[in-house]
Amino acid sequence: MEIKEAIKKAKENDQKAFKFLLDSFWDYVYGYQIKRTGNENEAEDITIQAFSKAFDKIATFDESYSFQTWIITISKNIHIDMVRKEKNKISQTISNQDDDSLNQILDESPSAEDQLIIEQNLAKLLKDIKKLKPHYQEIINLRYFQELSYQEISDELKEPMNNVKVKLLRAKKLLAEIIKTK
């Protein structure tokens, strides 16, 4: 399959075309973000977000341009937004602190009420996860509850790492839709 053909099929919601595009450009975008961020986890998160955003907006892609340039631009903008948010958080934190607050130590352990809310939210989340197909449940469990890396999940499921990333991305999107419909 060629890139232009894959883009046309992706615009028709062909999952194989999405996978082809992801496989074709993943390393390029991820490598670009590694150079920008110097952090593997951050680069991976940005790359996943970039593909998610690109696939959501694939219908707006102008085929007279390069897909590679488009996906890199999306990832660059996501990184810029992250940096801006981080700078904003830091400046707000600094401006909100005065000399007295710097010397105080806060007890950050959750209160009984907070703990109850956390447990209720977790119970709701687990119910929502159970609404997903079993293979999506498994991949969410491995990534977020067992905290395995993509490579460890790939080894566990005996699937290529890019398949694991795509499945996780789809699982998160489906879960988000389930949560939104409540």
For the domain 3-96, what is the CATH code? 1.10.1740.10
The pLDDT of residue 93 is: 67
Q: Alpha-carbon distance 39 to 125, whole Å?
A: 29
The pLDDT of residue 98 is: 52
The pLDDT of residue 173 is: 86
Q: What mean pLDDT is reported for the chain?
A: 85
pLDDT digits (tens, 9 = 90+) for 79-122: 999 888 888 777 776 666 554 555 555 556 777 777 778 778 77
CATH 1.10.10.10, the chain: domain bounds: 111-180
pLDDT at residue 61 greater than cutoff 60: yes
Q: Per-residue confidence at 35, pLDDT binned at 50, 70, 90?
A: very high
CATH 1.10.1740.10, the chain: domain bounds: 3-96
Min mean pLDDT across 35-49, 115-129, 138-152, 157-171 is at 115-129
pLDDT at residue 176 greater than cutoff 90: no
For the domain 111-180, what is the CATH code? 1.10.10.10
On whether the pTM is more than 0.85, the answer is no
Q: Alpha-carbon distance 83 to 77, whole Å?
A: 10
The pLDDT of residue 65 is: 87
Min mean pLDDT across 26-30, 88-92, 100-104, 154-158 is at 100-104
The pLDDT of residue 94 is: 66
